[in-house]
Amino acid sequence: MAWILNILIGVILAVILFLINFYRDPKRIIPEGNSIVSPADGKIINIINTSESSIKISKGLFGKIKTLTGDISANCYVISIFMSPLDVHINRSPIEGTVKSIKHTKGKFFEAYNLEKSLQNEKNEIIIENRKLKVKVIQIAGFLARRIRCYVNKNQKVNKGAKIGMICLGSQATLVLPSGVDLTVSLNEKVKAGSSIIAVLKDSK
């Protein structure tokens, strides 16, 4: 029976260490200037340049969400960041500004009679605006996690790099930017929330 107890203790310790690692909140050095920083830790898995007013964004092999882009600009960059369970899961504001809107949409589990509805992940969309530009951060939860935390309220002022939320377990954050910026990242690049520069305003490098 001693070996069973040792296995149980090992499993409990592994879970504790995982949770400590998952909920860690390291300090970040926030770059100054007209830069737009990453809203999440993880790897950039998709960069889309679109003039569509709304698009579908993939989440993993089966999941997806729908989002407006026309509420940000007529032409947009849509940048998706995959957050593994080992990444820091605190989300941060890409810019200094005011929270103009927050929209939470519940996810939908599999419905055999409606494949389209079966592929909707839970999401939370936060639009932040200042005098120079407007951006959208989309927090996207997985089917298993389905836990999105939002730390800000409508009309709240936030600093660049300020903590705006968290997504539990493996998840994805997507950033929607007006195309009138210069991107500084590429596919498969690793980024850190609040400190990695995603883009800069043109003529402001």
The residues that are catalytic are 171
Helix, strand, or coil here: 102? strand
What are the tokens at 144? 């298993």
Of 128, 138, 197, 134, which Cα lies nearest the Cα of 167? Answer: 138
Could you tell me if 141 and 107 are in contact, meaning their C-beta atoms sit under 8 angstroms apart?
yes
Helix, strand, or coil here: 23? coil
CA–CA gap between residue 160 and residue 132 (Å, rounded): 14
Sign of CA dihedral 15, 174, 190, 203: negative
What are the tokens at 61? 């092999």
- Cα 201 to Cα 29, 132, 140, 188, distances in angstroms: 20, 9, 26, 22
CA–CA gap between residue 156 and residue 53 (Å, rounded): 26
Mark out the alpha helices in the chain (DSSP H runs). Answer: 2-22, 115-118
- Cα 40 to Cα 43, 113, 191, 194, distances in angstroms: 9, 35, 7, 7
